Chains A and B, each alone.
Chain A
Amino acid sequence: MATSTDKQHYFVPDTTIWPFLASVGLTTLLMGFINILNDGGGKFLMLAGAVVLFFTFWRWFGEVIHESEGRIYSSWEDKSFRLGMSWFIFSEVMFFAAFFGALWYARVLSVPWLGGAGEEFETHKWLWNSYQAVWPTNGPANVGGEFNVIGAWGLPLVNTLLLLASGVTVTWAHHALKHNNRKHLIWGLAATVALGFIFLFCQALEYSHAYHGNLTLGSGIYGSTFFMLTGFHGMHVTLGAIILLIVLIRSIRGHFTPKNHFAFEAAAWYWHFVDVVWLGLFIFVYIL
């Protein structure tokens, strides 16, 4: 932790244009998407926004990496970064909590009520009184038609093992970094990134199976919760894998020291977070 002598001077960066440009990029991207949703042409706008956003982040983070490698940051600034990342991950936890909450609410409360459990709620009584509550369900109107459910013990189990293994390899890489063993650091990270991308491949395969079995985003509440939870998880795995890939490239270039490697740890924390979310998914979406 920071000692009092570290606290002589806190680095406050000079002016920066990147945040403003990031807002321009993000807004352009969203305006494109909005136009598409409103049945207009928006692909070009979306792409332009994405390019601006990508370019901005590239330069913004590049500047921070440059400062970090220039040893401008002491343990005082380092702690701000760590706090920032921890609380960001907490916000991500709460984002997933909304979707897990929807899943539990549907399974434990609203689907049984719709099937007539409890206090004879009106929706059952007047609208769907022949509906029997089961899980999985696509609702009394059989929205999206009959579908096949993905079993837990095939691809999802493989995916669980892949992610658990990647948790081990990233820890291996961390230990190697702390002991200044660059070769093992690079191999550990490379293995983690590889396992991440294999996971994504398996997930894509699983989605294709699901759609062939007519399990789609439109398959009622089951399809909704299944695809939104696994889909957002997959997006986070993608992001995590990209972050790890950048950390890997930086490791190959000789960045980080046994004492100074915030970016590595942030990536590892994020990776463990997506790992834990997956375990929740495996239990509540696939097994139960």
Chain B
Amino acid sequence: MNAQAVDHADHDDHHHGPAKGWMRWLTTTNHKDIGTLYLWFSLAMFFVGGAMALVIRAELFQPGLQLVAPGFFNQMTTMHALVMIFLALMPAFVGLANWLLPMMIGAPDMALPRMNNWSFWILPFASAMLLATLFVDGGAPAGGWTMYPPLVLQTGAAFPMLIFAVHLLGISSIMGSINIIATIMNMRAPGMTYMKMPLFVWTWFITAYLLIATMPVLAGAVTMLLTDKYFATSFFSAAGGGDPVMFQHIFWFFGHPEVYILILPAFGIVSQIIPTFARKPLFGYSSMVYATASIAFLSFIVWAHHMFTVGLPVEAELFFMFATMLIAVPTGVKVFNWVSTMWQGAMTFETPMLFAIGFVIMFTIGGFSGLMLALTPVDFQYHDTYFVVAHFHYVLVPGAIFSVMAAAYYWIPKWTGNMYDEKLGRFHFWMSTIFVNILFFPQHFVGLAGMPRRIPDYAVQFADFNAISTIGAFGFGLSQLLFAYIMIKTAIGGKKATSEVWEGAEGLEWTLSSPPPYHSFSTQPIIK
């Protein structure tokens, strides 16, 4: 058996190391190289999107118009969302999937390595196209990332660039997801049954399904926008028998599963990290799997809760309200499982664990405000206020982004072979956690008091909380420079990590050396 494997090694290109020089990164088919590209790209875009957020917060520091023109403010809110969702967060999760899935399931690489390269290398082009809109006639898109017509149709020369950037990003995501599903279904080591897969693998499996099911729908929606603007169609114009609300339905049919695309991999990460530092197996593994699948299923039948105030029939409002509230059940299962995993565990609080616990607590705050928003009559009050902004930033920043940081600290010793600076890591966690709450918690209050979102000016009674929020934003933004510093420093050098890295870590990736060999498992391990 081994002799056969060695024989193959002699005559295949397969066992070569990386190519030399910078061409390595252009032409690589290796899941680790591609994962690395995704992760650095994502980090860079995190700062681009973050800078836009700081422009928004700086303008909102005081009432009145100080720094930017209202039109540019709107461009910032729109671009901040698009950059953070499509260029920072999604690539971060795909990068983690690339690095980790083959190592976790005992595979030599991803199933379709050339297509894997293409999934990444569409991204920089799509991003350039999207970011270039800032410099064209009429400026960047300013109608909100949700691209509602008829407002979005007033975009200037940026309009077709926005549409085609979304198409390109969709192509990239779909190919990445197809690859992930094919890898999970076809590349598992012998004995690695579905119900033995690590939860990060499970959550990505379901996420990839959501992506393949919904990104084409978004592609269809933006195509209709394009033809409405340039080819005389009437999909979203009542004069021609169409309906602008129809866009919102199609968009949110994509948009709500998209929200779970941004959080399910985070659930997976946290479910990997907590058992390690609690030194106990994950509580309720199979219920975690079923809860994830339930959340995915429900994500397809709740979309209109984003549209409670557009004038839906009351039956629809009731249906979407109850369906939305149902999501709290599987999500609650998850939160209880994480807490039960920690219960009576021999816990230590290294940086990844701190971020994971921070995730559980602060994501749950976002979950609760979500439950409030799910109630139709209550949403009539909250809709389009800062309460909504506070809600989704709690699930996305100390939720999704914290999980990515937890993952980065947890696995970077494996990826690079170097330990990060634990002291600095913890400092980064505490700075981030303190400032993220100063940033977003006051937004609940101004929202409940009626401050509308996406407006550059506001009434004076909101001034104090907005000033606090802005201080939090700059604190949080500066803390992230620390994150970049720690990551770069660890990538360059540091104390050597062992193969296992963490005392309580379980899973195939910890059986490989740190850093792992260029091709993970050339011979598949047998799982008992």
Contacts and interface: CB of A to CB of B under 8 A. Distances in A.
Nearest to B245: A110
B121 A20 contact: yes
A139 B234 contact: yes
A15 B107 contact: no
Interface string B506-518: 0000000000000
Nearest to A107: B241
A143 B241 CA distance: 9
Contact of B4 (A8, A12, A121, A218): A8
Contacts of A238: none
Contacts of A144: 232, 240
Interface stretch (B49-57, B213-221, B403-411): B213-221
Nearest to A90: B212
B16 interface: yes
Contacts of A102: 220, 224, 235, 246, 250
B93 interface: no
B524 interface: yes
A210 interface: no
A9 B233 contact: no
A36 B523 CA distance: 52
B347 interface: no
Given A22-B118, A221-B242, A83 B111 contact: yes
A220 B19 CA distance: 56
A27 B130 CA distance: 12
Q: Is the interface of A mostly helix, strand, loop or mixed?
A: helix
A246 to B, nearest CB: 18
Interface in B1-53: 1, 4-5, 8, 12-14, 16, 19, 23-24, 26-30
Contacts of B12: 9, 11
A164 interface: no
B112 interface: yes
Interface string B168-201: 1000001001110111011100100000000000
A284 interface: no
A32 B164 CA distance: 11
B230 interface: yes
A137 B177 CA distance: 39
A83 B181 contact: yes
Contacts of A121: 311
B448 interface: no
B182 A84 contact: yes
A87 B178 contact: yes
Contact of A33 (B112, B128, B164, B168): B164
A30 B19 CA distance: 31
A288 interface: no
A10 B108 contact: yes
A94 B311 contact: no
B406 to A, nearest CB: 29
A84 B12 CA distance: 24
Given A7-B190, A83-B186, A224-B233, A16 B114 contact: yes
Nearest to B251: A98
Contact of B109 (A10, A38, A114, A139): A10
A92 B216 contact: yes
A217 B190 contact: no
B3 to A, nearest CB: 11
A111 B238 CA distance: 9
Interface stretch (A122-130, A186-194, A256-264): A122-130
Given A12-B113, A224-B233, A110 B243 contact: yes
Contact of B221 (A12, A22, A98): A98
A37 B8 contact: no
A18 interface: yes
A229 to B, nearest CB: 11
Given A8-B5, A80-B186, A143 B311 contact: no
A118 B313 contact: yes
A141 B23 CA distance: 58
A213 interface: no
Nearest to A63: B114
B449 interface: no
A79 B234 CA distance: 43
Interface residues of A, number: 77
Interface in A95-118: 95-99, 101-102, 105-106, 110-111, 113-114, 118
A228 B13 CA distance: 46
Given A23-B122, A118-B313, A224 B250 contact: no
A9 B5 contact: yes
Contact of A23 (B125, B157, B160, B220): B125
A17 interface: yes
Contact of A14 (B16, B183, B245): B16
B13 A19 contact: no
A272 B125 CA distance: 34
A13 B114 contact: yes
Contacts of B190: 4, 7
Given A12-B519, A13-B29, A13-B113, A87 B182 contact: yes
Contacts of B306: none
A240 interface: no
B246 A14 contact: no
A114 B174 CA distance: 36
Contacts of A101: 217, 249-250, 253
Contacts of B121: 19-20, 23
Interface in A200-257: 216-218, 220-225, 227-228
B212 A141 contact: no
B321 interface: no
Given A80-B186, A91-B212, A123-B238, A19 B118 contact: yes
22 contacts: A4-B190, A9-B8, A13-B114, A20-B117, A23-B118, A27-B128, A30-B168, A83-B185, A84-B179, A88-B178, A98-B220, A101-B217, A105-B246, A111-B241, A121-B311, A138-B241, A140-B241, A141-B239, A144-B240, A217-B231, A220-B234, A224-B227
Given A13-B114, A16-B29, A20-B121, 15 more contacts: A7-B524, A8-B1, A10-B109, A14-B29, A23-B124, A34-B160, A91-B174, A91-B212, A127-B238, A140-B241, A141-B240, A143-B234, A220-B234, A220-B241, A224-B242
